[in-house]
Amino acid sequence: MKKIIILVLALLVLIGAGAGAYFMFLAKPADAEHAEAKEPVKKVRTGPPSYATIGPMIVPVMGQTKATQNIIITVSLEVDDDTVRDEVRAKGPRLIDAYVQALYGSLDKGQVIDGQILNIPAIKDELKQVTDKVVGPDIVRDVLIQSVSQRPAY
């Protein structure tokens, strides 16, 4: 009889632990189900966009042993309103640093076609990714390349 009572108590403890683990880790609260059902609300722009100008930046293009040319680039970032523009301008030094690092490493990896012409769409995509990392996703709508100047490095 004593063994049966111990076996029943052990079985009840295991069932209780299993139910506790289920409710703790697997079951979703009712609020979470409703939160997932809602679609994320996209911010709708009410007025014209604002632009934050970043640059000019000078980036060397490295050849086999030395810099073959210098690229001077100016970028404008499209944002929703003036308050966001001021926040992005405040992060300007961090953006310039991140842009120069990204472009310095990637300009000799296919961004310069035949050693002469820049692949602007690829550079624009690279700058958009870097901007999202520094400023945050969905803050900057687009990266606009204002001016690009290529000069040989002598």
> What is the model's pTM?
0.62
Report the CATH architecture of 50-152: 2-Layer Sandwich (3.30)
Neighbours of 74 (CB within 10 A): 15
Residue 52 to residue 85: CA distance in whole angstroms = 6
Instruction: Report residue 73: phi and psi, to 5°.
Output: -130, 140
Q: Which of the two residues, 38 and 100, has the higher pLDDT score? A: 100
**Spans of all domains in the chain:** 2-37, 50-152
Among candidates 143, 141, 98, 97, which has minimal Cα distance to 123?
A: 143
Query: Is 70 exceeded by the pLDDT of residue 109?
Result: no
User: Which residues, in sequence order, are bridge partners of residue 77?
Assistant: 52, 143
pLDDT digit string, tens, across residues 56-76: 888 877 777 777 778 888 999
